[in-house]
Amino acid sequence: MKQQTDARETVRMFDQIARTRRSIRGFLPDPVAAATLEQVFATAAFAPSNCNTQPWQSHVVSGAVRDRLSRIFMDTIGQGKHSLDYPYEARYAGEYRKRQLDVGILLYQALGVARDDKEGKRRAFLRNLEFFDAPHVVFIFMPDWCGIREACDVGMYVQNLMLAMRAHGIASCPQTILGYDADSVRRELDIDATMKLLFGISFGYEDPDLPENQIVPERAELSQLVQFHTG
């Protein structure tokens, strides 16, 4: 009986962690303790990978290094100067485009930015380059020999990472835009050119008072995403 109770509690806790993880766009300044960071990243590393290659490489920045990269991004990404290791072509259509627009509308409404407010949208964009005030950022790299399969491995690692963070009460926001200046990140962190940047994740403790942290994007119906074949 105890085993059944423990199993149900494990399922309940995992469901809660997975279903309540959201992209948070406003953080408190409080840093995460070093011991907690080590535990979170150690747990994430148990993600599966093709042939156990474990192709992910994480670089965590905090303090003065974090601040310096934010200033650099303002001068590069913020001014339209890009150096991407992997092209990003977000040409969404149909239901994918609708989902993109829906979450954008929710965010701008929470921020009080009108549809024709170009300056407001510009300010909202630049918040990305300030890491939404998060005290930590992790940049996700993989070796240049990697392909789509290895990128999938990295994706599973990152999901492990964000769920581990959530279990510790740490909020996160994966940001494609943080991969738009790979050259600067490599230079500032002294990373070899053979390591290629995918994206970054801002993380820390959520500021619960910000309206942008109250939005909950809709999820597609299960029937739209999964087909069960039974013979």
Q: What structural domains does the chain harbor?
A: 22-90+128-219 (3.40.109.10)
Reference 113, options 104, 102, 122, 121; nearest CA is 121
State how far the Cα of 230 lies from the Cα of 208, in Å rounded to an integer: 45
The structure tokens listed for 94 are 């149909």
The pTM assigned to this predicted structure is 0.95
Over residues 79-129, the pLDDT tens digits come to 999 999 999 887 899 999 999 999 999 999 999 999 999 999 999 999 999
Strands 136-143 and 195-204: antiparallel
The conformational region for residue 31 under phi > 0 = left, psi -120 to 50 = alpha, else beta, is: beta
The structure tokens listed for 69 are 């990269």
Q: Whole-angstrom distance between the N-terminal and C-terminal Cα of the chain? A: 35
Mean pLDDT throughout 49-63?
98
The DSSP output letter for 42 is H
Reference 136, options 28, 19, 18, 22; nearest CA is 28
The pLDDT-based confidence of 6 (bands split at 50, 70, 90) is confident
* pLDDT at residue 3 greater than cutoff 80: no
Per-residue pLDDT at 90: 78
